[in-house]
Structures are given as C-alpha cells and as structure tokens.
Structure 1
Amino acid sequence: MKIKIIFGVIALSSTIFISCNDQKKSPEPLEPVKVKPPKQIILINEAKSVYDNYTKKRAELIENTEAPLEDGSRFIASRFGDYSIEDMKNYIAYVEQEAKEAGVKVETLRFYFSTYPDKKEFPDREKIEHPRQNSFFIVPTIKKDSINYAFYIKNLGDGKKEAALIRDYPGIMDNKIGSSNTSNKSYASIVPNFNLNAYSDDESLIMNKTTMGPPPYRPDFN
C-alpha cells in the first residue's frame, strides 16, 4: 500500500512539473501578414518614360530659363528629394496624432511643387542651401464639403486644438506670405519651409526640409 502511495505521489509530482514547464513555454510567434503591393505601383519602364518626359518638357525648360549660378556654372534643375523611412514614419505618426487631438481625420498627403527664393536665407534666418532650386513640400488634407483641403492646427489654449484650412490663414489667398520681387529669370512661390509657428501659436504640419538633388547629381534613370 505504501509503495502504491509513493508511486502515486511521484506520478502526480511529474505531472505538475511537466504542466508548469508547458505553461512557461512562450506561444508560437504568428507569421506576419504579407503586405500586398499598392495599386499605385508602376513598372520600371513606365517610370523611365515619365522621367524622360519630364527631362524634355520641364527640366530642360527650367535650366534654359534660369540664369547661371554665381560662379558662372550652369543651373541644374532638381529631379528628386530624399526622406528617410524613419522620417516619413515619424511625420505620418505626428500628423495623425495632431489631427486626432483636433478631432479630424487625415485624408491624404498632398505634394506641392515649389521653388526656393533667390535669396541666401529665409525670413527665419535659416540658410537656403541652393537658391532658385525647385523642390516640393508635403501637407496633409482633411475633407470638407466632399473636397480635400490642406490644413493646419489652431491651438485654442488649455490643450484644446482644432483643424483649420490653410486657404483661410491670414495672408495666404492674397499672396502676402512668400511673395518676392523677382526678375523674369525666377519665379515667386510660397516659401517651401513655410512655418506658421513663426507667426503665432498656430501649428504647421507642412514638411519640406529634405535633401534635394541635383546637386549633387546622382542619376537613377539616365
């Protein structure tokens, strides 16, 4: 009888030990969901075709219109701008965060073509690396009356925020911001690094500060 009890205790202890070990095992990791290719992706040959079309119908026109640089070298139109993947992730996360606090939903990210002014620095004293260089800036949009509009954030105080349309910001529609007296060799534009924070507590969501090229010239398609 004692032997049976001893064997029973041993068997029960083994069962408990095995059960505890099984509980300590981490669950099998789930395989990540495979992302399908976005419908907006185009073929490499298509990219080459539209790249060449821009070269002939836009880049060459810009270069022929612009005067030589101060050192006498030929003006070269920019063809691309680089943002790191982390910068883009952080930008999207920040835009969505601010929009959520303002109670709105971001609909799109809009890319505007732009041109740096023919000056050494912006009004906030930040240096312009390549005056007259063509560039782009990114601005998020919200839907109003079934139309997407670029927006910024108005700080109302006490941590409250609301989204407001950039087109309604003072000075925008009458071109009082970013305009400049230029010769027929260069063109007026909204200042690409347009920063609402420089004028008030309002918060800009426009991103521009990036690495444009050329210069330096690092071609991918020719």
Structure 2
Amino acid sequence: METKSNQKLAVFLIIMTLIFQSCKEKPKKIDRPEKSIDYKHAILLEAEFIRTREKIINEYLNIEDTREYWFELEKLKEYIAYVEQEAKTLGYQNLGIRIYKGAYPNDPKYPDPGLSTVFLVPTGNKTTSKASFSPISTTLVINDNIAEIPAYNYGHAGKPPKEL
C-alpha cells in the first residue's frame, strides 16, 4: 500500500515538474522606442549634414574628416552598467548620456590624428538640500555632467566615412 502511495506521489511530482517547466515566462516584447527614427529619416539627416557641413569642414581642414562612429554594443552596455553603478554610489538619479563632438590632436599617439571623434559623458540629477528656515524640506535639482565618472571614447571612425 505504501508503495502505491509512493508511486502516485512520484507520478504527481513528475507531472508537476513538467507543467512548471512548460510554463516558462516568454521573453517580453520590447516596443519601438519613442524617439527612434526610421532609416529614411536617418538618410535625410546625413544628407543634410553632407550638404551643409562636410564640404566646408573638409576643405577648411584639407582632409577627408570622418562623420560616422561605431561602438561595440557589448562595450556600450558595459559602460552604461558602470555609469549606473557609480552614479548610484554618488547619489545621482535620472541618468543620461550626453554626446560631445571632439577632435583628436594631430599627434600619432592618438588613433585618428587630426580627425573628428565623439565621446559620451554621463549625466544625472543630484538632489541636494537647500538652506531654508522652513520646516518643509526643499530640494534643488541639478542636471549636469557627472565629472566624477570617466567619459567614453575610442569607437571606430569611418575612414573614409561610410554612407548610410
């Protein structure tokens, strides 16, 4: 009798295990981000840059400057995770990334001497108390670059620039 009970229990456990394994949560579908643009719009923006700026920049500098940059997605994820970790310890919220244009000095120790580059600077809001005689707490929100966290650079620039 005890053997039949053990067999029933074993069958029940096997069935329950199979049911739970088949109920794995499906990956959540990620919706298209609100500020994403389609490829045709991206081509229009690049064409406008080429039409209004590229010739002037290249003629003035007497070079074929780059205008597109590539960063490895996994490295960007690592950088973003690092920014989130460090910003949290520094008391920043509402994090973001500000992208700056720059140019490497015309020195061979740089990857693309004399050419343009972009670099990413973390930003955030830090809430600090404002001096007040009021018993109600007031706060001053500062949205700025987070200078305590290193910026991110050294992607790969198109030489010559790659058309969109």
**TM-score w.r.t. structure 1 length?**
0.61
CA distance in 2, matches of 1:99, 1:141: 9
Structure 1 Cα separation of the partners of residues 3 and 146 of structure 2: 72
- Secondary structure of the residue aligned to 2:107 is coil
Q: 1:94 to 1:106 in 2, by over 3 A?
A: farther
- What residue in structure 1 maps to residue 9 of structure 2? 16
Matching residue's letter, 2:93: K
* Preserved contact between residue 106 and residue 140 of structure 1 (Cα < 8 Å): no
Within 5 A, what are the aligned runs for 1:1-222?
A: 8-25=1-18, 26-27=20-21, 28-67=23-62, 75-120=63-108, 127-143=109-125, 145-146=140-141, 148-153=143-148, 204-213=149-158, 215=159, 217=160, 219-221=162-164
Of Structure 1 and Structure 2, the greater helix share is in 2
| CA distance 1:87–1:110, shift in 2 (3 Å) | same
Distance in 2 of aligned mates of 1:65 and 1:31: 55
CA contact (8 A) 1:104 1:142 kept: yes
Question: Which blocks of at least 5 consecutive residues in structure 1 are unaligned?
Answer: 1-7, 68-74, 121-126, 154-203
Secondary structure at the aligned position of 2:162 is classed as coil
What CA distance in whole angstroms lies between the structure 1 residues aligned with 2:150 and 2:35? 24
Structure 1 stretches of at least 4 aligned residues deviating more than 6 Å after TM superposition: none
Please tell me whether the aligned partners of residues 67 and 161 of structure 2 are also in contact (alpha carbons under 8 angstroms): no
Shift of 1:101: 1.4
Report the AA paired with residue 115 of structure 1.
Answer: A
> What is the Cα deviation at residue 11 of structure 1?
3.4
CA distance in 1, matches of 2:163, 2:60: 25
Partner of 2:124, secondary structure, is strand
Output the CA distance in 2 between the equivalents of 1:142 and 1:76. Answer: 36
Note the C-alpha offset of 1:218.
5.7
* Residues 23-80 of structure 1: per-residue CA shift (max 9 Å, x gap): 544532110110000011112221111101100111111101013xxxxxxx112121
- Ranges in structure 2 where 5+ consecutive residues have no aligned partner: 127-139
Where relative contact order (Cα < 8 A, 6+ residues apart) is larger, the structure is 2
Q: Please state whether the residue corresponding to 1:105 is helix, strand or coil.
A: strand
**Bigger CA radius of gyration:** 1
Conserved? CA contact 2:84–2:95, under 8 Å: no
Distance in 2 between residues matched to 1:58 and 1:138, nearest whole Å: 22
Q: Structure 1 residues 146, 61: closer, same or farther in 2, change over 3 A?
A: farther
Q: Aligned AA for 2:42?
A: A
Could you state the TM-score of these two structures normalised by the residue count of structure 2? 0.80
RMSD across aligned C-alpha pairs, in angstroms? 2.0
